[in-house]
Amino acid sequence: MSKDQIPVENLTELEASSELAFLAAELARHDALYHGKDAPEISDADYDALKRRNDAIEAAFPALVRADSPSKKVGFTPLPTFAPIVHARPMLSLDNTFSEEDLRDFVSSVYRFLGHLPDDSIAFTAEPKIDGLSMSIRYEKGKLKTAATRGDGTTGENVTANIRTIKEIPNELPSDAPDVVEVRGEVYMAKSDFMALNAQMEAEGKQTYVNPRNTASGSLRQLDANVTAKRKLRFFAYALGEVSNGGQPARIADTQYGIVEKFREWGFPVNPLMKRFTSAQQLLEHYNEIGVARPDLDYDIDGVVYKVDRLDLQERLGFRSRSPRWATAHKFPAEQAFTTVENIEIQVGRTGALTPVARLTPITVGGVVVTNATLHNADYIEGIGNSGERIRPEDHDIRIGDTVIVQRAGDVIPQVLDVLLEKRPAEAVKYAFPEKCPVCGSHAVRERNEKTGKLDSVTRCTGGFVCRAQAVEHLKHFVSRNAFDIEGLGTKQIDFFFESDDPALSIKTAPDIFTLKARQEASHLTKLENIDGFGKVSVKKLFDAIDARREIDLHRLIFALGIRHVGETTAKLLARSYGTYEHFEEAMKAAADPASDAWAELNSIDGIGEVVARAIIEFYKEPRNLDVIDRLIRELQPKEAEKPSTEGSPVAGKTVVFTGSLEKFTRDEAKARAESLGAKVAGSVSKKTDILVAGPGAGSKLAKATELGVQTMDEDEWLALIGG
Ligand code: IVH
């Protein structure tokens, strides 16, 4: 990211000012994604790099510091749906330390500030920086009174009801606790609980979560505390807010270490890796130890926090504008390692996309062995990003034999970040991206985006059904969970049947699945039950599973066809709009004429845009597709989909209000669907409201509906009600 940046000292004033404007907007956008939507687009390390660049430019051009400068902000303005709580003491952020040198600077700055103290006389604590959400929990007269998120540092969100569902957080404090104590710390989700939750989501066919931090944040920001209670959230206590007795400031300990000890006595979970040291060298050693332990911890951490241990010294050191002088966060670099590219292979997907994959000399990156990394597409290999921008200098293209930096951030697929030119072997040549599909030999092309006129970043095989790779991927899609979902016919079995050229066994296209049993019965030679991995019982089960799917939901059938851009949601829309398979196919063939009613009808379906419409029509123009479909339909009895008639519609005549954010549809789409089912969609809740559909972040409308006794449901329940 920083490689092709102009060094700050070479920036002109004009360049500096425009870059600061860009950084202010970009950082605000990432703040909103991270804090507001819990859906970050960039890694913490990249975010920090943007922030550092901003700080460096501001330091060089102090006159250009903007009113909306990211350096003036702490965290993010709270969401409006929770009642605000003004923190009795602001919840500040920490300065970041990125290197050994920064750490030594921090320690010496503390000494310099305090003056006249002998070397190694100041103790510092070092503890993991937990990657969760900071929380301030206020106890009055020993009872948990309120809990607030950090928010913008001054005002947070009142999430008391949700915090009460966390078992690890005591509801009462022992009698030695002062009248008022604010215990601060981090709410997080354990990695193991996160994995279990995702496994469950996957089993239920639901969307999985991105990472523990966002899941914890999303779980905590539920207006319905019952939802929070179902998620296993945890807590580490590490700091104090207000402490007072009879309105007078009080103390519970003299040191940071003592405070945490007290928290432990009071029943709070505290981090076992916190230790006390007196030199930068020792702090650094502990940082390295925590770094080594990191992959084995059951919670995500992103660095180590150092704090001056004595509270009287903390008080003397005080604060800069937004962070204490007595503490700093030493961040871990994103997990990176060097290795060599042994080969670049091309994978061909169902839609023909050619994806280059780097085969790497196996290397451990943050505790995980990495052997492959995606190279995305031809541009990425060259060092060009998705919008045509340079992401690496010109000669840093990725070649076989190159030594590269591999990064693994969180759960994302390993990336090749950069190439070490000094290690490039003399014989390494530029990688020539194939112009032909490596599997079928058809031409591979980059399409031009009609709107922008730019070349698409994806290179695609034009072979269609001729391409074995596309054909086999297509079959895997056909039998997948949300399509035909045939038990006993997974990717391994598909590979086996596809590879076979035996007429009694081979499956090359979807209809062959349904003729397999008949072909087996007709053959005396090749019996499936005699083949390794099958056996009599499993063969019978397989045939039963296949037969059970001859009657298939229309939307599953449409989805299974693998038409480009037609995902599950679109398939459902199409099924509901056309009712029967015959009607659908007939209409799609007729829609090839742009002057036809069929074309107009297809385009008028809410949720179906022109790109999708064209893709479906192209699909039905291809004789090869029609042949396969004909053979397939002969084997099936597709069910009729319920037409969107208002008669018999469970919501006909009802008044529905949508609130909060919807995850499966846009607001407009949800509204259109409801209306097509005969419901009236209103903007506000009143006595006339029949149903309130509340997504995450729902606020006053939900409260009002509850008050009025209006039936409320979440998006899934709504979808179930209207028939998915
Ligand atoms: S101390 C005045 N200790 O890091 C400083 N913070 O960038 C009080 N954090 O908002 C914070 N682990 O959410 C402290 N062991 C730890 C921490 C920690 C995580 C977070 C916290 C804070 C942010 C500061």
Q: Which pLDDT belongs to residue 407?
A: 87
Predicted pLDDT at 52: 86
Is the pLDDT score of 445 beyond 70? yes
State the DSSP string of 225-283: HHHHHHS--EEEEEEEEEEEETTEE--S-SBHHHHHHHHHHTT----TT-EEESSHHHH
pLDDT one-digit tens code per residue, 578-625: 889 999 999 999 999 999 989 988 887 767 888 899 999 999 998 989
For 373-391, what is the mean pLDDT?
90
| pLDDT value for 643 | 57
What is the 306 CA–ligand 1 centroid distance (Å)? 10
pLDDT at position 91? 93
> What digits encode the pLDDT tens for the residues 77-92?
444 478 889 999 999 8
**Predicted pLDDT at 87:** 94
Mean pLDDT score, 57-84: 74
Please compute the mean of the pLDDT values over residues 243-266 and round it to a whole number: 96
Give the Å distance between the CA of 115 and the centre of ligand 1.
27
**What pLDDT is recorded for position 75?**
52
pLDDT above 90 (res 239): yes
Tell whether ligand 1 has an atom less than 6 A from the beta carbon of residue 129. yes
Query: Within 13 A of 479's CA, how many CA atoms are on the CB side?
Result: 27
* CA 201 to ligand 1 center in whole angstroms: 31
Distance CA 633, CA 558 (A): 12
Percent of the chain with pLDDT over 90: 55
**For the whole prediction, is pTM greater than 0.75?**
no
pLDDT at position 333 over 70: yes
Predicted pLDDT of residue 216: 92
Distance CA 222, CA 218 (A): 7
Candidate from 98, 106, 134 with most ligand 1 atoms within 8 A of CB, to mutate = 134
**Catalytic machinery residues:** 129
User: Which pLDDT belongs to residue 4?
Assistant: 59
User: In 535-591, which ranges are continuous DSSP H helix?
Assistant: 536-548, 554-560, 568-578, 581-590
Closest atom of ligand 1 relative to the 133 alpha carbon: 13
Helices (H), 268-339: 280-293, 311-317
Q: Which of 38, 17, 261 is nearest to 133 (CA)?
A: 38
Residues ≥6 apart with Cβ < 8 Å to 611: 565
Ligand 1 mean position, distance from CA 366 (Å): 23
pLDDT of residue 3: 43
Most ligand 1 atoms within 8 A of CB, residue of 44, 96, 130 to mutate: 130
The reply to whether ligand 1 has any atom less than 6 angstroms from the CB of 92 is yes
Residues 416-439 have pLDDT tens digits of 999 999 999 999 999 999 999 999
**Percent share of the chain, pLDDT over 70:** 95
Mean pLDDT of the chain: 89
Q: Say if strands 637-638 and 551-552 run parallel, antiparallel, or are unpaired.
A: parallel
Work out the average pLDDT over 636-644: 82
The pLDDT of residue 39: 73
pLDDT number for residue 410: 52
